[in-house]
Structure 1
Amino acid sequence: MTFLVGQSILEVKAGAPNNGRGEDNRGMVKQFKTGRDVYPYVSAQASRRWLRDSLPAGEATSPVVRSGEGKKQQAYTGGRPDLYVDDDLFGYMIAVKADEDGAKKGESKTFMRDTVLATGTLVAVVPTVPVMDFGTMSRDMGPDEHPVIHEHEMYTADLAGDLLLDLPRVGAFETGGKSAKPAVPEPVAAAVVEGGGSRMTLRGVDCVRLPLAERRRRVAVLLRTMAVVKGGAKQSAHYGDRTPGLLILAPLLGGTNPFTRVVRERERTTYFDADILREEIEAWSGELDGPVRIGWAPGFLGGQRDRARSDLADLIKGEKLIFGHPRTVLNGLADEFEAGAHDEWFEDPAA
């Protein structure tokens, strides 16, 4: 079974991309403390929302259903991974009425899909204390009137978060099993098969699977969206690039991510450690199912990009490493998926 694993590093300049609860009428960015150090972060929920909102205009997204009031409110997506790429890749949980899934009168059933795209919290590599931005609203106020004061936090930092895409589960939906709740009811499963899909067993669980061409397309859509992702809070005052400044992606058997320590803190700066990357590639050579891909935007981390390319020149020449711009790397990999170059990555030998 092949997974795409790695890490995405986002450069935030004087931004407030994800806010927490305010205090004393002040807007606060999300952050946590370890001892005396403060680490701003962007939650996985927020970064996944950015991806969903950045999907191509022609890509339909799952409608959200909201019901109940007060503490009994519920909100969930349509739960149709056969129709919507976001339900397929991001997962969901939904309770349906009896007449929707064929259960007996008075019964209900829960359908759940574990995420296919796992994303870690984007956390500052180097601790930094957010600053308070002070502003006023005084337009059209007289000379004797006091302006309305508003404050909110912002910060500059490089945020790093892990990534994992479970390729065999793209477009494969559980229909039942002793250890897993079904992702779709039987009428939906039947519609998938009638539409050209197939029934199969994946990791001991009965599933239906979309045609290969659609599974290829969905992975390509995700990769291209990662190359153009945008979003974040307070864009009117703190607009900034939200595409990766640095990206590590590797096809790995088994789903372990050994590349989480390549980008680390060194002397209070963000540091790309080529020696760690080299040793991890050697240690996991038997599990790597293709070259490691490094997408690195020019200018990010100054001269470290050129130094890393030089230090890793032998791996690049030996085709163990692909090095380029994040956009080029992501779009190139998407092209390869669409051309069928990685069809074997969708298969699970244990299935």
Structure 2
Amino acid sequence: MTFLVGQTVLEIKAGAPNNGRGEDNLGMVKQFRVGRSDIYPYVSAQAGRRWLRDSLPPDEAVSPVTRSGEGKKQQAYTAGRPDLYLDDDLFGYMIAVKSESKTAKKGESNSFMRDTVLATGTLVAVVPNRPVTDFGTMSRGFGADEHPVIHEHQMYTADLAGDLLLDLPRVGTFEIGGKSIRPALPAPVIAEVAEQGAEPVVLRGRECLRLPMPERRRRVAVLLRTMASVKGGAKWSAHYGDRTPGLILLAPIKGGTNPFTRVVREKERATFFDADVLREEMSAWADELDGPVRIGWAPGFLGVQRERAQEDLADLIHARRVTLDHPRTMLRTLADEFEAGEHDDWLDDPTAPAA
């Protein structure tokens, strides 16, 4: 039972990647206050996940969305077919619609859900940062004596950090039975997926159907490559910027706990990569680590800290307990390893044929 856990850091330069509710004709970025004066801009987990979905390869089919109802009774949900769509598999869903069957009881619902396989934290500024207001006007085509239309919006420069967890044994594995969880698929679809070759297994005490290993490998690889080339964010016309990780840390760990959330932290009002924290956490969790800690770090991000970390971690790098490379290189190399079957043991879990 292995999870990929870690931390990702984005470098935002004069950007407004995720907006909140505006006030008095002012477009505001999402932010929260800690104490009396510290303000932390952030990008919501929902926005970050949307960026990943939108950045999937063009030939990767995504789950269609159904919208129904009006006003406060509106619903929007995907197809709920993780067997067909990678995004339903990895991002999860919940579907609760009234049954249209003539034999169904009045008010009976068709309810099924899938907990997320990819857990993503909110991307929060490492260091408090008060957004500034950008003042703009629209006066094109106006007469010389006409007043321009004024508009304002916020932006900021900050490093945003968030946690990641990918539950590898659940990739392509769909719960269909258990007392404490709704099934991921409705009964007719369960039968269809089983007929198409999905294997019955028991995962963590729950009856499941599991897709063939080549497809499960492929889905992990697609996700990792998408993380290496993700793009998105609001206000591209005025604040376009790189949304790939400036730094990403991933480690295979057996129990699913993420001990690396404090490796990138604030120090003296600046973003700081703490090699001592990484070293001590690796020592404390040595019995749970299932492979090297992989660091993808873009050259130039955080100045000379990359070179300093390479020196501080030289013994661990030499022993291949830590790797350090460009984020794109690290993620694509790991994707290649999954597709080659080098990490099939990470995708497995103690299982038995379903009863």
**Matched letter for residue 34 of structure 2:** T
Q: 1 CA distance for matches of 2:201 and 2:187?
A: 14
**Contact 2:110-2:186 within 8 A present in 1 as well:** no
**Contact 1:67-1:74 within 8 A present in 2 as well:** yes
Greater displacement, 193-202 / 272-281 = 193-202
Mapping of 1:93-104 within 5 angstroms?
Answer: 93-98=94-99, 104=104
Q: 2 CA distance for matches of 1:313 and 1:190?
A: 53
Aligned to 2:155: 154
1:204 CA drift (Å): 1.1
**Contact 1:135-1:151 within 8 A present in 2 as well:** yes
1:350 CA drift (Å): 6.6
Mapping of 1:142-221 within 5 angstroms?
Answer: 142-221=143-222
1:81 CA drift (Å): 0.5
1:176 CA drift (Å): 2.1
1:262 CA drift (Å): 0.4
Aligned to 1:234: 235
Greater displacement, 168-177 / 14-23 = 168-177
Aligned to 1:345: 346
**Matched letter for residue 8 of structure 1:** T
Aligned length: 350
Aligned to 2:90: 89
Q: 1 CA distance for matches of 2:309 and 2:105?
A: 64
Q: Which runs of 4+ in 1 moved over 6 A?
A: none
1:192 CA drift (Å): 2.1
Relative to structure 1, is the Cα distance of residues 103 and 289 closer, same or farther in structure 2, using a 3 angstrom cutoff? farther
1:205 CA drift (Å): 1.0
**Matched letter for residue 138 of structure 1:** S
Which secondary structure does the structure 2 equivalent of 1:220 belong to?
A: helix
**Contact 1:33-1:39 within 8 A present in 2 as well:** yes
**Matched letter for residue 16 of structure 1:** A
1:325 CA drift (Å): 0.3
Aligned to 1:32: 32
Which secondary structure does the structure 2 equivalent of 1:40 belong to?
A: strand
Residues 101-140 of structure 1 deviation map (CA, whole Å, 9 limit, x = unaligned): x973543221010000000000000001000000000000
**Matched letter for residue 275 of structure 1:** D
Q: 2 CA distance for matches of 1:99 and 1:174?
A: 24
Which secondary structure does the structure 2 equivalent of 1:346 belong to?
A: coil
1:99 CA drift (Å): 5.3
**Matched letter for residue 225 of structure 2:** R
Uncovered stretches (5+) of structure 1, i.e. residues with no partner: none
Q: 2 CA distance for matches of 1:188 and 1:250?
A: 35
Q: 2 CA distance for matches of 1:214 and 1:191?
A: 17
**Matched letter for residue 147 of structure 1:** P
Aligned to 1:11: 11
Q: 2 CA distance for matches of 1:104 and 1:152?
A: 52
**Matched letter for residue 224 of structure 1:** R
Q: 1 CA distance for matches of 2:256 and 2:218?
A: 22
**Matched letter for residue 57 of structure 2:** P
1:330 CA drift (Å): 0.2
1:194 CA drift (Å): 2.2
**Matched letter for residue 30 of structure 1:** K
Greater displacement, 341-350 / 175-184 = 341-350
Q: 2 CA distance for matches of 1:11 and 1:162?
A: 15
**Contact 2:201-2:351 within 8 A present in 1 as well:** no
Residues 224-264 of structure 1 deviation map (CA, whole Å, 9 limit, x = unaligned): 00000000000100000000000000000110000000000
**Contact 2:92-2:116 within 8 A present in 1 as well:** yes
Q: 1 CA distance for matches of 2:98 and 2:212?
A: 29
1:19 CA drift (Å): 0.3
TM-score by length of 2: 0.96
Aligned to 2:257: 256
1:97 CA drift (Å): 4.4
**Contact 2:203-2:350 within 8 A present in 1 as well:** no
Aligned-CA RMSD value: 1.3
Q: 2 CA distance for matches of 1:112 and 1:197?
A: 19
Aligned to 2:22: 22
Uncovered stretches (5+) of structure 2, i.e. residues with no partner: none
1:346 CA drift (Å): 1.2
Aligned to 1:59: 60
Mapping of 1:327-338 within 5 angstroms?
Answer: 327-338=328-339
Residues 274-297 of structure 1 deviation map (CA, whole Å, 9 limit, x = unaligned): 011011111111100000000000
Residues 137-179 of structure 1 deviation map (CA, whole Å, 9 limit, x = unaligned): 0000010000000000000000000000000110111112101
Greater displacement, 39-48 / 105-114 = 105-114
**Matched letter for residue 332 of structure 1:** T
**Contact 1:5-1:164 within 8 A present in 2 as well:** yes
TM-score by length of 1: 0.97
Residues 173-200 of structure 1 deviation map (CA, whole Å, 9 limit, x = unaligned): 1112101000001222222222221111
1:95 CA drift (Å): 1.8
**Matched letter for residue 248 of structure 1:** L
1:348 CA drift (Å): 1.7
Mapping of 1:308-327 within 5 angstroms?
Answer: 308-327=309-328
